[in-house]
Structures are given as structure tokens and as C-alpha cells.
Amino acid sequence: MDIQTNLKEVLNDLPQDVRLVAVSKFHPAEAIQAAYDAGQRIFGESKVQEMDEKHGKLPEDIEWHFIGHLQTNKVKYIAPYVALIHAVDSYKLLVEVNKQASKVNRIIPCLLEIHIAQEESKYGFTFESCRTFLQEEAWKELTNVRIEGVMGMATNTDDENEIRKEFESLHRFFNELKENYFKEQPYFKEISMGMSHDYKIAVAAGSTMVRVGSKIFGERIY
Ligand SMILES: *Cc1c(COP(=O)(O)O)cnc(C)c1O
């Protein structure tokens, strides 16, 4: 298994304006270094401690994206350097990110995680709860966070039509939020969707950022 070959294959599938988050969770620093040496700079992790350790020993110019569920009590560890938090799904979490960001004098970019899959999940806003959250306007006071778009995961299924339908629904929802709340904010432009098995469908449905792990680094051993 050759990380650099896999990486090039994935990049070849992506239009110029779609960014690749190489999801390196559960893979060692050496694997990240190999992708880095091939030019990759954006890496995605889903555990705070793991990301912290890797951040400590890998090159400074890596953009670390936190893609997993983030617990409020752990935000402080990543606030000094995290480049994008993909899965904000509550006002409470956004408040904590804002607080920790202000302590280190940063504005932290965040995406709102939207639950689009058919599977049950504890995480992610529903379309309706997200609308309610944005209508309340309390988030506008949080000046050390910047909401740059949405993130979603499709149902884990072989049914491509279902996956396409879900990604298209996220794209439409993004358009709705853009129109209603972020019309004058050019930075509200990200739709983070697509993983190893479905990123091509996601790109066709308007993804601006795909999160690909196993297709680049191989299967994870948990
Ligand atoms: C692990 C993970 C990915 C990458 O999954 P692959 O199937 O390995 O590409 C993408 N997004 C999130 C939120 C993840 O947790």
C-alpha cells in the first residue's frame, strides 16, 4: 500500500476548487509525513489527544482539521492551533470554542454538522434545529468563532441514489442558510461532505471539501 500513489489518485478525482482533508486518525505520524512529503497539507483527526500528539511532532505548516465529535471540556487543548472544526452541533459547543479562542486571541473557523443520514445519531443538527439555532441570533455575539459552512455524512449504504439524495439535500440546505443568514459573508462557502466510499458522489453534488481516510492510508486498525 503506497500512501503517495493513493493520495495522487484521490487528488486526480477532485476538481481544482475542492479541497482534500486527508483523514489520518488511527494512523501514525510516519504515514502523515509520507502524505506531507507528497504535498498534502490538510489533515483530519477525530480525537483530541491523538491530534495534539501529532501536532507536536509534525511540521508547523500542517492545517489540522478536527472532524470528530468534540467535547466541550477538550476544546482548550486544540484552540491554539486547530484550523477548522467540522462538527459543531450545539450552541453550547460554539460558546466554548468562542471562549477558548478568545483566550488565545484567535478567530476559529467552524462548520455546522447537519444530520442528513437515515441512521440514528446523537450528533448533528437537524435542518429544523439548525434553523432555530440561527434564528435565535445569540451566535452572532460570538466574535471569536466564524461559521464558514456545513458538514454532513451520508448513510452508510451501497445505494448511490440514497447517498446522492442526502448530499443534494445538504447542498440545498447550505444554499438556504447562505441566503437567509450569510448572504454578505463571503467566508460562508464550505460544504464538507464525502468520504472514501462516496466522495465522487459528494463532489458531483457540490462538495467543497472531502474528508478521505482509508482510501489514502489504508484500513484503520482500532
Ligand atoms: C473517519 C472519518 C472520515 C474518513 O472516513 P474514510 O471512510 O476512512 O474515508 C470522514 N469523516 C469523518 C467525520 C470521519 O470520522
C-alpha grid cell, residue 45: 483527526
Q: If you measure from the C-alpha of residue 44 to the centroid of ligand 1, how many angstroms do you get, rounded to a whole number?
A: 9
Question: How many Cα atoms are found within 13 Å in the side-chain-facing hemisphere of 34?
Answer: 16
Question: Contact 31/217 with Cβ under 8 angstroms?
Answer: yes
- DSSP code at position 134: H
pTM of the shown model: 0.97
| Residue with CA at minimum distance from ligand 1 atom 10 | 211
CB of 194 within 6 A of ligand 1: the answer is: no
Q: Which atom of ligand 1 is nearest to the CA of 46?
A: 15
Instruction: Give the span between the Cα atoms of 188 and 191, in whole angstroms.
Output: 9
Question: Contact 146/107 with Cβ under 8 angstroms?
Answer: yes
Q: Which atom of ligand 1 is nearest to the CA of 196?
A: 9
pLDDT (tens place) for every residue of the chain, 222 residues total:
699 999 999 999 999 999 999 999 999 999 999 999 999 999 999 999 999 999 999 999 999 999 999 999 999 999 999 999 999 999 999 999 999 999 999 999 999 999 999 998 889 999 999 999 999 999 999 999 999 999 999 999 999 999 999 999 999 999 999 999 999 999 999 999 999 999 999 999 999 999 999 999 998 877
C-alpha grid cell, residue 201: 458522489
Pocket test for ligand 1, best of 48, 211, 219 (most atoms within 8 A of CB): 211
